[in-house]
Amino acid sequence: MQFSSLLLLTLFVFLLWPLYRWHRSGNSLAPAVFAGLLLGLVFGGLLQLARGWGADPAEVLPWIDVLGDGYVNLLHLLVMPLVLVSILGAVVKVSNTQSLGKISVSVLAVLLGTTAVAALVGVMMAQLFDLSAAGLVEGARESARVQELDRRMGEVTGLGIPEILVSFIPENIFSDLAGSRDTSVIAVVVFAVLLGLAALGVRREHPEEGQKIVDFVHVAQVWVMKLVRLIMAFTPYGVMALVAALIASSSWGDILNLFSFVVASFAAIGLMFLVHGLLLLVNGVSPLHYFAKVWPVLVFAFSSRSSAATIPLNIETQIDELRNSPAIANFSASFGATIGQNGCAGIYPAMLAVMVAVPMGIDVMDPVWLATLVAVVVISSFGIAGVGGGATFAALVVLPAMGLPVTIAALLISVEPLIDMARTALNVNGAMTAGTLTQRWLGGEVPGPQPDEV
């Protein structure tokens, strides 16, 4: 390792010390997460400048990734145990099993409904910024991406809603607990609900044995939540490392070349955040209070670019800060990580569809074409969980369904990481909004306090 790289790495370790002191001095995680974000931006910018000084950031980034990627791996480790014990605990405590169905329907309605709105917002922004696929340059990196997309197209060809629904049903729960499938999270949710319903049956028929099951599930919940809080304590340092690595590896030249698309994407995402806030306001929840409590979750989603990895922090924040019931928090966080993602499955494929359709002479504002696009986006957002890959697979499903080529998804690869950060934050916020609205609507039927009012 060059001396300059060693010096940069030493500086990174040195910056961790004030962050640690700041974290230990406060009772709240939020200020430390924000401090980690700022330090990550500063250090990532320093690594960008170091290229001009003859240093090689490529020698430093793998060591920074040890902290960032290691933290994300620990969060992935939590997902399955947390979903299993939390939903199992929620089911064994309910007195009316019909409320579980109402929770699922309510959460899915919000997720899919806001995805339809997100598709319309994507179309509007593509039109407003006059975005078009014409003139986009295909370099070596983009050509390689085209070949990768051609390979992935085989994975989504012939994939319909019936096949997606079947994939939600667990066949081997141990395999799904290991996350072997793209729908493993939903499969674990289904298994936990079935196991909980069986526990309710045991409690009715054999009260003594049923109480032992309830006690065991309670102990498991306390145990797993303690593990969650232990790992959550590393959030500021993980955020700092993730943001630093992302800023250092970004190509600002590529971002400037696709500046209109970047600005349009962020404008669409920002508008959808306003839509979420408006929905909360109409239903008696203060958007200001809401965002003040969830922004650490959004910061982590932004830096990690993983809705699944954000599930533990999502659930904990919904329960402890938004005061949603554990059942609602777990259902909304789990469904929201795989179904109806406003950013990846709503805005992105709709914008790409417009960018491709305009050069082909298609009137994108034709009511029939527009309604078809929204319907395809909503249906695909429900089915994207069956194939995984987020926004890219959403485009691979929506564009061919509309009779459009998929090459454009490869031409935008250079700015994808930057935009994907904001899209992931929007996806996670959609899940928390769905949980908060469901708590507002079903609060009287589901155990748990009400969210803060205006």
Is residue 142 pLDDT above 60, yes or no?
no
Q: What is the pLDDT of residue 390?
A: 66
Q: Is residue 454 one of the residues assigned to a domain?
A: no
pLDDT on residue 453: 42
Tokens of 51: 């290229």
Asked if residue 447 is part of any domain, the answer here is no
Cα separation, 121 vs 409, whole angstroms: 19
Q: What are the tens digits of pLDDT across the range 232-246?
A: 888 889 889 988 888
Residue 451 lies in a domain: no
DSSP 8-state assignment for residue 347 = I
Residue 68 belongs to domain with CATH number? 1.10.3860.10
pLDDT for 294-339, tens place per residue? 998 998 888 887 887 888 889 989 998 999 988 899 889 888 887 8
Look at residue 159 in the predicted model and tell me its pLDDT.
56
**What's the CA gap between 110 and 132, in Å, rounded?**
31
Residue 448 lies in a domain: no
Residue 151 has pLDDT above 80, yes or no: no
User: CA separation (Å) from 394 to 201, 341, 417?
Assistant: 40, 10, 16
Structural domains in the chain (count): 1
Max mean pLDDT range (127-141, 342-356, 379-393)? 342-356
Per-residue confidence at 388, pLDDT binned at 50, 70, 90? very low
Whole-number Å distance between alpha carbons of 56 and 45 = 14
User: Is residue 452 domain-resident?
Assistant: no
* Cβ burial, residue 286 (10 Å; 0-12/13-18/19+): middle
> 414-425 pLDDT, tens per residue?
667 778 889 999
| Full DSSP string of 107-159 | HHHHHHHHHHHHHHHHHHHHHHTT--STT----HHHHHHHHHHHHHHHHHTT-
Residue 450 scores a pLDDT above 50:
no
Contacts of residue 296, defined as CB under 8 A and 6 or more positions apart, other chains included, come to 29, 30, 33, 34, 235, 313, 317
Mean pLDDT of 147-174: 67
453 domain residue, yes or no: no
pLDDT > 90 in the chain, percent: 29
239: enclosing H helix or E strand: helix 235-249
pTM: 0.80
Q: How many residues does the chain have?
A: 454
Q: Residue 449: inside a domain, yes or no?
A: no
Residue range of the domain that includes 143: 3-442
Q: Which residues pair with 285 in a beta bridge?
A: 453
Give tens-digit pLDDT for 262-271.
899 999 999 9
Yes or no: say if 328 and 100 are a contact pair by the CB < 8 Å rule. no
State the pLDDT confidence band at 446, using cuts at 50, 70 and 90. Answer: low
Greater pLDDT, 372 or 135: 372
**Which tens digits make up the pLDDT trace of 162-193?**
776 787 888 999 998 888 876 788 888 889 98
Token reading at 266:
């962020």
Q: If you write DSSP's letter for every residue of 430-444 in order, what string do you get?
A: HHHHHHHHHHHHHTT
Q: Is residue 266 part of a domain?
A: yes
Phi, psi of 453 (to 5 degrees): -95, 165
What rounded mean pLDDT belongs to the chain?
A: 82
